[in-house]
Structure 1
Amino acid sequence: MKVCMAVFCELLEMVEMNVVHVDYAKLFASSLINNQPQPDPYLECLANFLRTEAPRVIGHFRTSLLVSSCLDILNGMILESALPIHSAQKIPGFHEWIRGWNAGGTAVGQFLIPTGDQSESHFTEYVQLLPAISDMQSYVNDILSFYKERIIRREKCYLHQVSLENQCSEMESLKELCSRTSSLYLKNCEVMGQSNSHVRQIYRDYVMGYIEWHFYDELYKLNEMGLRLFP
């Protein structure tokens, strides 16, 4: 299951980094539904994974959730690329809405929920992982990518746009997001622990692993700020 999740995440990253023609991404859903070849090799690899590998590993219903999430991710990318850089910057919640599409937590969560008859019978307990992981994926990434995206590259990142929406400084937005993320993590752990300790353990392990990955990936340049993980 972990190998399958790693392959899926790598496919998504390759699509995001290498599919330069937005029109190709717009054709993904239609080509997938009609079982037609994708116009891009990276999209074709993703489509093949969704058609063949995913149903074998996580079953048909969870594959449906996975496909739906993939379409949200692609549509979010398309919409972001199509909008002018300052569009709707003052509409409350606009960039939070877009960010939710791109998070991919529902997709990744399909590979964290155990398979088997016993797990399927308790699916409603495990399904709470999906929104919890989606939030953490968005918030943790926005916090730990702020340095390389905004400080180094001066990109119009999520925290920059939210600051424009809320008419506050970027540091204020960063501080608020850090506080919200830590509080949400602790609250989720508390609630999950009351119903299913296994669900809480899956959640904890994934969030800690996701944070750790940002520190080990040189792309985020966290070492330049002297940030280190605790031993």
Structure 2
Amino acid sequence: MDPSCVDLHTTQHQGVQSWTSSLWNLAELLGLSNLLPKRRTTVDTLRSFVNYFDTTDLPSIEDAELKYLCIKEGESTYLEDNYPDDPDTLVGVANFTKHFASLKTQPTKMAEHFANILAEAPQLFGDVAADFIVQAGLSGMSEAYTMFIFPKDLSYNLYVQALPLVGEVINFMNDITSFYKEECENERHNLVSLMAEARGEPKIETLCYLVERCIQAHERTLRILSPYEGVRSNYENFVKGYLAFHLGAKRYRLSELDL
């Protein structure tokens, strides 16, 4: 185990238990509780939850939109993890939007690759979706993910009212599942830490509050999309996959909890 995490395991064990218990509630909301054993320990419960996800029927990598998504998220993750420590990333980020808007070549190879990825969005997605994807790429906001959920030929009017709530689900779920990694790495500039400080409460209380907000946004989204079974199914499948990605990716270090 990473020595930096020793204190986390010894002094915040109850906090981690509460966090995994909150993720159980999210699993119940997604309709997975009948596939999980009766509660024993929080770790056992979360382990069963993670093991539920089936990766044998993933979309074909030959799908152009999926290839685009993989490349875009790979580039985005690289930039996030290396800024501001990598000199090339530091140089490329500062004036990225200025160069992108003026159609000028970016100052670094990685920044130029990312600019080209954003420029390709209109070729693969509808006009509205492409606008959201480019905006999200420039701002770091969650709108791009909301556009990846729904097929290109699906009428925008069927899901537009749910987009703000879908954005909340995406953002909160990322904050919740990133908490352990950020605590291990002593990161303090994140939503949980900043909100806990502002509210004058322990981080675990703030984390549980965010779980409640995430679940509320998810339930409201389901109600809005309920008249359209196919649209709702697209959203539900995305949520399951998005959560499965965070639970399984090495980047989030959740394997250290013996899930």
Deviation for aligned residue 1:23? 4.8
> RMSD between aligned alpha carbons?
1.9
The one-letter code of the counterpart of 2:240 is M
Deviations 1:159-186 (A, max 9, x none): 1110011111111111111122123212
* Alignment TM-score, normalising by the size of structure 2: 0.67
Residue in structure 2 matching 1:107, options 140, 144, 155: 144
Partner of 2:182: 149
Larger radius of gyration: 2
Deviation for aligned residue 1:197? 1.7
Residue 168 in structure 1 maps to residue 183 in structure 2: no
The 1-side partners of 2:258 and 2:223 are apart by 32
Partner of 1:62: 129
The 1-side partners of 2:173 and 2:148 are apart by 19
Residue in structure 1 matching 2:169, options 136, 143, 147: 136
Contact 2:161–2:224 under 8 Å retained in 1: no
SS of aligned partner of 1:199 = helix
Summarize the alignment of residues 20-39 of structure 1 with structure 2, pairs less than 5 Å apart: 20=84, 21-39=89-107
Gaps of 5+ in 2: 1-64
The 2-side partners of 1:61 and 1:137 are apart by 19
Q: 1:213/1:126 Cα in 2 relative to 1: closer, same or farther (>3 Å)?
A: same
Residue in structure 2 matching 1:13, options 71, 77, 97: 77
The one-letter code of the counterpart of 1:108 is Y
Deviation for aligned residue 1:129? 4.8
Q: 1:40/1:130 Cα in 2 relative to 1: closer, same or farther (>3 Å)?
A: farther
Partner of 1:44: 112
Contact 1:106–1:134 under 8 Å retained in 2: yes
The 1-side partners of 2:92 and 2:75 are apart by 16
SS of aligned partner of 2:151 = coil
Gaps of 5+ in 1: 74-103
Q: 1:128/1:10 Cα in 2 relative to 1: closer, same or farther (>3 Å)?
A: farther
The 2-side partners of 1:201 and 1:207 are apart by 10
* Alignment TM-score, normalising by the size of structure 1: 0.74
Partner of 1:92: none
Deviation for aligned residue 1:224? 2.4
Q: 1:16/1:111 Cα in 2 relative to 1: closer, same or farther (>3 Å)?
A: same
Contact 1:19–1:40 under 8 Å retained in 2: no
Contact 2:105–2:112 under 8 Å retained in 1: yes
Partner of 1:80: none
Residue in structure 2 matching 1:202, options 231, 234, 237: 234
Contact 1:192–1:199 under 8 Å retained in 2: yes
Deviations 1:51-77 (A, max 9, x none): 2x211101334322222222211xxxx
